[in-house]
Structure 1
Amino acid sequence: MVRPNPDDDNPLWQYFCNNQKRLIYKWHQYFDIYHNHFSRFRGLPIKVLEIGVAHGGSLQMWKSYFGEQAYIYGIDIDPRCKQLEEERVEIFIGSQTDRDFLQYVRNTIGTVDIIIDDGGHTMEQQICSFEELYPAVQERGVYLVEDLHTSYWSGYGGGYKKEGTFIEYAKNFIDQLNAWHSQDHGLTPSYLTKTCTGLHFYDSVLVIEKYPNHYKPKTSMTGKFSF
């Protein structure tokens, strides 16, 4: 369940409300989404990459939430963010529309378990980052894009039903997820079809669950016929 305002049973919400460290700026409904999809990774030796460092508060939050075995990476275009590095937190400086830079980050850190795109929120930034970084997510990992309301804001290149927004781009993922069942030659299984088992659209957030899905789903029957 995703609540407009989480309760104290959500440890991320607790952290946010009691935060006296670096600045964190989040929409309240995000915290249940995070906890619903990320809680299974807590206490494990994982790697998390967040695009958009700002003041570094969310990097500290992820470090606390996931535990002592987690390694946290950040990407930001502001060179000042480099000074926010600390133990188990490494920050790369560059643009999320620079495909060469994103490939450099991939090659440097290898595969990761979770990617959170909280970067500049323009259409080009979100699409470019997904195309370059989704392949870096390990099997059973999660790719999360937030602040998708910018797909409806003209200042970010958005607009209702406007071609080229991330929302319109991501709507195609629904077709790709179901491509095994298509009888139209125009829709064939893609990389996303073969690596994704779930899409979760929320207010301003898309969560993509990565899991091997290389073959057409099967059906079976058990039990006895009634008629």
Structure 2
Amino acid sequence: MHGFANPKRFLSLARPLTPWLLGIGFLLTGGALGWGLVGVPAERLQGETVRILFLHVPAAWLGMGGWTTIALASLAEIVWRHPLAAIAGRAAALPGAFFTALCLVTGSLWGRPAWGTWWEWDGRLTSMLVLLFLYLGYIALAGATAREGASSRIPAIFGLVGIVNVPVIHYSVLWWYSIHQPPSLSLSGSAMAPEFLWPLLAATAGFSCLFGAIVLMRMRALLAETQAQARLRRRARELELEPRLKASGA
């Protein structure tokens, strides 16, 4: 892991990998969404509203996956003091928040015809809303510490604490009575018909590639910003010392 602590070494991997992830992501996502919207038949009970799952499920997956990325980066920051860990956490926060918000919006759009309501304070929906608030808090905290030059361990601790909410989201439909249906996919198998399962897996893989590309692009941008700020601070110190050096030389 520390092999990529050197920014140049990280960039040598991130630069060629980003366009590949973008290309594969766009192809898989476009094909899967087209397949799901046009090629998949209407579901027996849910009708045409079932098509929203090809956007809703990947968004939910990446909302939780984004915070898992933050937690892993936070662990690397606290335990190993990895130089790029704080940047990785900040890079994953914004796309993770976007997918979490997208999950909530698409879930509400699906819930209106399925449940007869836009919102219900059940375990899954409430814990997902909490995740969105955690993202917003992390983004604000990480941004403030970066601006003020405070320790990056502060948002890292917040990132580790927030991971508790991810298993709550996953198991909420099993722990509490809920109007939300139980998971259709698990390690033991799938309760979903193949004509829905395969485009859903393709959409999830495509969106995951796009998420990875966005995180890499944001890491490169944040790294460039950090390096530029370091150069400016170094130049400012040189300008402050220059009159003193001239005076002592005189």
Whether TM-score is above 0.5 comes out as: no
Relative contact order, CA 8 A, sep 6+: which one is greater?
2
Q: TM-score, normalised by structure 1?
A: 0.27
Q: Point out the structure with the larger strand share.
A: 1
Larger-gyration structure (1/2): 2
Q: TM-score, normalised by structure 2?
A: 0.25
